[in-house]
Amino acid sequence: MNSQPIPLYQKVSEKVIRHSLDNSITAIDKLHLKLLEKGFHFLRNQTIRNYSFDFYCSNAKIAIEIDGYAHEFSDIHNLDATKKLFIASLGITVLRFTDYQILTDIEEVTRTVKNQIKTTTESIYAV
């Protein structure tokens, strides 16, 4: 059996990247509408210090990131690691979803958000 290494970076056509960006925009809009429908109060495109998030709820200290195609690359993933550590130090929980998850199973995504809000608010009032 002959095994060959899989390259970390594979050249991707502009058409594939454009499709992914278009779907990411659609996923952000779809999630925004669903969050409003469910009565969740998240602000879009929020910046915390030097880092941007797709959605943020300051009361629950929850940020939502929608990962598109670009997050598959190792250098983007490495940048996200620093962001993750810093944001956690501020007591903010980051929920990450792929655009695919949002487009195919929005109900599961909103259940996850609801459960995190419930967990966060319960821990705030725990004695």
**Cβ–Cβ under 8 Å, residues 35 and 55:** yes
pLDDT score at 56: 96
What is the pLDDT, as a whole number, of residue 57?
A: 95
User: What pLDDT score does 34 carry?
Assistant: 95
pTM reported for the whole predicted model: 0.71
The answer to the question of residue 8 being in a domain is: no
Number of domains, the chain: 1
At 6-38, the pLDDT tens digits run 454 556 667 766 666 666 668 899 999 999 999
Cβ-Cβ contacts under 8 Å for 65 (sequence gap 6 or more): 53, 54, 94, 95, 96, 97
Asked if residue 7 belongs to a domain, the reply is: no
Is residue 76 in a domain? yes
Please tell me whether residue 18 adopts helix, strand or coil conformation: helix
Is residue 106 situated within a structural domain?
Answer: yes
55 domain residue, yes or no: yes
List, for residues 54-106, the tens digit of each pLDDT value: 999 999 999 999 987 544 544 555 666 788 889 999 999 999 998 889 989 99
Task: Establish if 117 belongs to a structural domain.
Answer: yes
Alpha helices (H) along the chain = 14-37, 74-89, 99-104, 106-124
Task: Provide the residue range defining the domain that includes 64.
Answer: 14-124
What is the CATH number for 111?
3.40.960.10
Predicted local distance difference test score (pLDDT) of residue 13 = 67
